Chains A and B, each alone.
Chain A
Amino acid sequence: MPATKLSKAAAHDHASRVFDLDQMSLRELNQALHNLTPGSNETAWEVLHPKGSHSVAVGVDQPVTIDVRGSVGYYCGGMNSGSTITVHGSAGPGVGENMMSGAIIVKGDASQYAGATGKGGLLVIEGNASSRCGISMKGIDIVVHGNIGHMSAFMAQSGNLVVLGDAGDALGDSIYEARLFVRGKVDSLGADCIAKEMRPEHLELLQGLLDRAGVTGVKPSEFKRYGSARTLYNFNIDNADAY
C-alpha cells in the first residue's frame, strides 16, 4: 500500500489513522483493518467521505475504534468482532449484520434489517431503524432511540432489542427466546409474540442495557416487555388437519 496516501492526525503513536475514501479505495481501508494484529498501537481509525459506500469496516476482528464521518451503505460493520464503530451519519441496510462482539453506534437512522443475525455485541441506533430490525438476532443487544419498522425481531432467537419509541406491525413474529422492550406503542404483535410481565430481573437487565447505550433520563419501568408464547415450539397434533 502506498504510504504517502496515509495521513496521520498527529505525530504520536496513538494518533488516529485517517482514511479518506475520496483518495483511497474501500478495499484498501478494509484490508488495512484486516491486517491489524493483537496489540497493535493503531487503535484509533477515522474514515472520511464514505458517501454511502457498502461494506465499510466489515469483518474487523481487533478492539480498535473506528469513526466514520458520514453516511454509509449496505452492511457497515458486518461480522464485527470487538471493534467500536461510530457512524456519524445514517446507515444503509444490514448495519452490523452478524456482529459477534464489540459495538456499533449509528448517530443517524438505520435502514432495513439492522443487526440481522447478530450473535453478540451492542448496536445502538440513535435515530430510527427501519423494517426488520434485529431479524433472526442470535444474542446481539440492540438499542434504538427512535422507532423501528415492521417485522422487527422476526424469528429472533436470543439477545435483547430495546426501543425507546414505537414499533411497527408484526413485532417479534415467530420469535424464539429474544427479549423485546418497547417504550412506545406497538402497531401489532406477530405470531406467537406476547406482552410479558416485567419482573425485577428484567428491570435490572434493561437498566444495564440503557447504561451501556448511554441513554439517560429514561426509566426501565417506562417499557413493556414482549417475548415468545412458545406455542410454535412443538408440533400440535390438533393442527394436523391444517397441513
Chain B
Amino acid sequence: MCGIVGLFLKDKSLEPKLGAMLSEMLVSLSDRGPDSAGIAIYGAPSRNEAKITIQSAKPARDFRDLDTELAKAIGAPVRIAVKSTHAVVRTTPAKIDEAREAIQALRPDIRIMGAGDVVEIYKEVGLPEAVVDRFDVRKMTGTHGIGHTRMATESAVTTMGAHPFSTGADQCLVHNGSLSNHNNVRRELIREGMKFETENDTEVAAAYLSSQMAHGKNLGEALEGTLSDLDGFFTFVVGTKNGFGVVRDPIACKPAVMAETDQYVAFGSEYRALTKLPGIDNARVWEPEPATVYFWEH
C-alpha cells in the first residue's frame, strides 16, 4: 500500500505552516503504511550556506564534536543542528561535496539523507506521528515538501529503506507501488556513475530522475521518461529545488488525488489527506490521469 503526500505553496503567507500542514496530511494516512515514515521540506535559501542532512543510529557518539572536526577537515565554517537521530550540517555551498566526503571519512556510520541548498530530509522507522514529533516537523517553514508512510514490499524496513529518496542536490522522490525492472535500470545507472545506498526499487526511480536532469532535462521531461523506461506500478511525487511533480504509470492502480487553489497545489494518496487544508471545499479536486505528467515550478 503506502501513503504519499505533497504540498507546493503558491501563497507565501502559508510558508510558516508548511511543516504543520504536511505533517497533518501524512499522519492522516498512517494506516496506509505503519513501517516507516519520512518527510522532505524545502526551506528558504541562504546565499552563504548549503545543507547536508545526516543520520546516525548512535547520534550522541557520532554528532559529538563533528562540527569542529569537519570545519578543520574542509577549512570552512560548519554549523550543526541536531534533531534526534538526524542532524543538519550547514557550510559554504562551494564546500558541500568536500564536506560530504569528509563526514563519511570522519564518521563511517553516518548516513547521508540528502543535500542541497534548501532541502532537509527526515526519515525513520515508525509511524508518521512518531516521526514528525521526533523531528519537530510541524514547526518547519518552507515553500514545498513531500512525505511518505511505508508498507514495505521490495526491501528491508530500515531508515535507509524509508522514503523520500534523494539522489541529487535538492532532489527527492516518494513512491507508492513497486518497480519490476529496477535491477536492470540500477546496473545502467551504476555504469553511468550513479551511487546507490540500498537495494530499494524507489531509490532507482530517484536516481533515474537525477540522471535525466543531470543530462539537461527539466523535471517534466524527466518524469515523462519514467513512462517508457520504468516498468511496474508507480505513483511518484517528486520535489526539486523550486519544483514539484507527479506522475502515475499507465495502469494507475495506485491511488492519487490532487487539489489546487490560489494558495497551493496538494497531492494525497487519498482525499482524506487533503480534508484539513484551507479552502479545500472550494478547491479544484481531481484524480491525476494515468501516464500524464503534472509539474509546477516557482
B270 touching A73 by the CB < 8 A rule? yes
Closest to B285 in A: A90
> Which residues of A are found within 8 Å of B253, using beta-carbon distances?
112, 131
Say yes or no: is A228 at the interface (Cβ < 8 Å to chain B).
no
Closest to B273 in A: A52
> Which residues of A are found within 8 Å of B133, using beta-carbon distances?
none
Say yes or no: is A158 at the interface (Cβ < 8 Å to chain B).
no
Say yes or no: is A109 at the interface (Cβ < 8 Å to chain B).
yes
A52 touching B290 by the CB < 8 A rule? no
B275's partner among A52, A74, A131 (CB-CB below 8 A) is A52
A197 to B185, CA, bound (A): 49
B290's partner among A90, A93, A150 (CB-CB below 8 A) is A150
> Which residues of B are found within 8 Å of A92, using beta-carbon distances?
255, 270-271
Say yes or no: is A160 at the interface (Cβ < 8 Å to chain B).
no
- Return the CB mask of B71-93 against A: 1 if under 8 Å, else 0: 00000000000000000000000
> Which residues of A are found within 8 Å of B290, using beta-carbon distances?
131, 149-150
A90's partner among B255, B271, B272, B273 (CB-CB below 8 A) is B271
Say yes or no: is A111 at the interface (Cβ < 8 Å to chain B).
yes
A131 to B291, CA, bound (A): 13
Say yes or no: is B252 at the interface (Cβ < 8 Å to chain A).
yes
Say yes or no: is B287 at the interface (Cβ < 8 Å to chain A).
yes
B287's partner among A51, A109, A150 (CB-CB below 8 A) is A109
B285 → chain A, closest Cβ, in Å?
7
Say yes or no: is A130 at the interface (Cβ < 8 Å to chain B).
yes
Say yes or no: is A98 at the interface (Cβ < 8 Å to chain B).
no
A74 to B255, CA, bound (A): 10
A145 → chain B, closest Cβ, in Å?
16
B255 touching A51 by the CB < 8 A rule? no
> Which residues of B are found within 8 Å of A53, using beta-carbon distances?
272
Say yes or no: is A152 at the interface (Cβ < 8 Å to chain B).
no
Say yes or no: is A71 at the interface (Cβ < 8 Å to chain B).
yes
> Which residues of A are found within 8 Å of B273, using beta-carbon distances?
52
> Which residues of B are found within 8 Å of A109, using beta-carbon distances?
286-287
> Which residues of A are found within 8 Å of B270, using beta-carbon distances?
52, 73-74, 92
- Return the CB mask of A88-129 against B: 1 if under 8 Å, else 0: 001011000000000000000101100000000000000000
> Which residues of A are found within 8 Å of B252, using beta-carbon distances?
112, 131, 149-150
A73's partner among B272, B285, B286, B287 (CB-CB below 8 A) is B272
Q: B245-298: which have CB < 8 Å to A? A: 252-253, 255, 257, 270-275, 285-287, 290
A51 touching B275 by the CB < 8 A rule? yes
B272 touching A52 by the CB < 8 A rule? yes
Closest to B281 in A: A70
Closest to A53 in B: B272
> Which residues of A are found within 8 Å of B286, using beta-carbon distances?
109
A130's partner among B271, B272, B285, B287 (CB-CB below 8 A) is B287
A150 → chain B, closest Cβ, in Å?
7
> Which residues of A are found within 8 Å of B275, using beta-carbon distances?
51-52, 71
Closest to A71 in B: B271
A111 touching B285 by the CB < 8 A rule? no
B272 touching A111 by the CB < 8 A rule? no
Q: B212-254: which have CB < 8 Å to A? A: 252-253
B215 → chain A, closest Cβ, in Å?
31
- Return the CB mask of A53-78 against B: 1 if under 8 Å, else 0: 10000000000000000010110000
> Which residues of B are found within 8 Å of A150, using beta-carbon distances?
252, 290
A109 → chain B, closest Cβ, in Å?
7
Q: A24-72: which have CB < 8 Å to B? A: 51-53, 71
- What are 24 sample pairs from A and B whose C-beta atoms fall under 8 A apart? A51-B272, A52-B271, A53-B272, A71-B285, A73-B270, A73-B271, A74-B270, A90-B271, A92-B255, A92-B271, A109-B286, A109-B287, A111-B257, A111-B287, A112-B252, A112-B253, A112-B255, A130-B287, A131-B252, A131-B253, A149-B252, A149-B290, A150-B252, A150-B290
Name 11 extra pairs, CB < 8 A, besides A71-B271, A73-B270. Answer: A51-B275, A52-B272, A52-B273, A52-B274, A71-B285, A73-B271, A111-B255, A111-B287, A112-B255, A130-B287, A150-B252
**Chain B residues with a Cβ under 8 A of chain A:** 252-253, 255, 257, 270-275, 285-287, 290
**Chain A residues with a Cβ under 8 A of chain B:** 51-53, 71, 73-74, 90, 92-93, 109, 111-112, 130-131, 149-150
Listed from nearest, the 10 A-B pairs whose CB atoms lie closest are A52-B272, A52-B271, A51-B275, A71-B271, A130-B287, A52-B275, A73-B270, A73-B272, A52-B270, A131-B252
